[in-house]
Homo-oligomer: A and B are copies of this chain.
Amino acid sequence: MAGSPSRAAGRRLQLPLLCLFLQGATAVLFAVFVRDNHKTDAALWHRGNNSNADNEFYFRYPSFQDVHAMVFVGFGFLMVFLQRYGFSSVGFTFFLATFALQWSTLVQDFLHSFHGGHIHVGVESMINADFCAGAVLISFGAVLGKTGPAQLLLMALLEGVLFGINEFVLLHLLGVRDARGSMTIHTFGAYFGLVLSWVLYRPQLEKSKHRQGSVYHSDLFAMIGTIFLWIFWPSFNAALTALEAGQHRTALNTYYSLAASTLGTFALSALVGEDVRLDMVHIQNAALAGGVVVGTSSEMMLTPFGALAAGFLAGTVSTLGYKFFTPVLESKFKVQETCGVHNLHGMPGVLGALLGVLVAGLATHEAYGDGLESVFPLIAEGQHSATSQAMHQLFGLFVTLMFASVGGGLGGLLLKLPFLDCPPDSQCYEDQVHWQVPGEHEDKAQRSLRVEEADTQA
């Protein structure tokens, strides 16, 4: 808003033009390459298919709806905690996720289902695309309030490609197991965003410090996000795991882990809190770390106790991270991240990957029985020993961190292109830069503050 208003408006044209260009390009790619797969193409479906084995033609449950609810409602509202950035938080989530859904369908299904010159898509494409949208939104959380929507669109464009490649390398080339997805989603999204945020470091960001907190109602809106993430996380983890036992186990382990991380977060939040009181930031975020930490191992034989222990550890580490590490991250490492994604996705994601290494290393034929084939197919087929599977898991973490760091660095350089529209230091975390805000509510709030001051002086 500072500087020449007409130049600012001119720069804001980048968003609609980029939107139109990307939507147009996506549509052309769809027209040329994308076709219905055997589940969605009427002509590829035959009556005869309708045998006992055709359960794949029915909607799986948990389904895309649950994953969608988690991504759109969960991430969207979780970020509404900022007092003056609610429109952008929920609006840009919506818009980034819808772009990521289309774009990631192209990238992932190109890697997985390209044959006969065409990319074949079905309902599973949407679930996979949701996972990619999840990673993009995690990175969004790191730069929330400090980037313009055109920048975010470019970020999603780059991150969507790298997400797809990283996942393909891990799951298909290295034979890593990462049900969904301590490594591929949480670690990748978090470190991509953190490195990007490091490249975009703003020394003068304290000019917008007064807008970086929450207000009472914005915290309640954010709790909508937290609760939806919490309740749909088991479906998120179980949506694409093997049917039957694997799916039940994934859901159950995720629940126990989430339950323990919630209790751990309440305990630690009070312990380290001012006057031994609870901090809403911890509850909104760290309570969910239990979902992240079992992203790799929830389909494995983690056991209910293992899930509880992992969740508790994640919740406590995440809470301590918010209290003690986030300030250091900014002051020492020059990483300004808005939502604490390092605490919610970064550390618990790495912990989850390491937990996967451990649980894979302990896998035996006795413990898994016939289920070994669906959980660790390479061990069941004799291609991997448990130890070598564990080593592959560890290497997968390393690859993910590489992809995320290099990608985040490239993304940062891309977003630093000088002609891109970007809020000035004094206008971060402010909806009015991008939105027509009803009334002059911001001014009102400032007035009432002034009134309050007058009052206390009187």
Other than the known A15-B267, A94-B283, A448-B448, what 9 A-B pairs have Cβ atoms closer than 8 Å? A19-B267, A42-B370, A45-B244, A65-B66, A72-B227, A80-B220, A87-B278, A95-B263, A123-B248
Q: How far is the CB of A77 from chain B (nearest CB, A)?
A: 8
Copies in the complex: 3
In the complex, A259 Cα to B104 Cα: how many Å?
A: 12
Q: Judge whether A275 is part of the interface by a CB distance below 8 angstroms.
A: yes
A121-B304, A255-B101, A308-B27 known; A68 vs B219 contact (CB < 8 Å) = no
CA distance in complex: A432, B15 (Å): 41
**Is A102 an interface position by the 8 A CB rule?**
yes
Contact of A266 among B95, B220, B264, B374 (CB under 8 A): B95
Please determine whether B59 and A61 come into contact, CB atoms closer than 8 angstroms. yes
Q: Which residues of B contact A448 (CB under 8 A)?
A: 444, 447-448, 451
Interface size on A, residues (CB 8 A): 152
Q: Is the CB of B16 within 8 A of A276?
A: yes
Q: Which of B76, B224, B256, B436 contacts A279 (CB 8 A)?
A: B436
Is A208 an interface position by the 8 A CB rule? no
A398 interface residue (CB < 8 Å to B): no
Query: How far does the alpha carbon of A423 sit from the alpha carbon of B269 in the complex, in Å?
Result: 19
What CA separation (Å) do A368 and B61 show in the bound complex?
A: 27
Q: A40-B252, A227-B73, A267-B16 are in contact. Are A45 and B371 (CB under 8 A)?
A: yes
Q: Complex: how many Å from CA A19 to CA B265?
A: 10
Contact between chains at A65 and B245 (CB < 8 Å): no
A243-B57, A448-B451 known; A370 vs B47 contact (CB < 8 Å): yes
* Stretch of A28-36, A179-187, A407-415 that contacts chain B: A28-36
Q: Does A385 contact B (CB under 8 A)?
A: no
Among the listed B61, B244, B275, B277, which residue makes an inter-chain contact with A57, where contact means beta carbons less than 8 Å apart? B244
C-alpha gap A244/B48 in the complex (Å): 12
- 9-residue interface stretch from A134-142, A159-167, A230-238, A342-350: A230-238
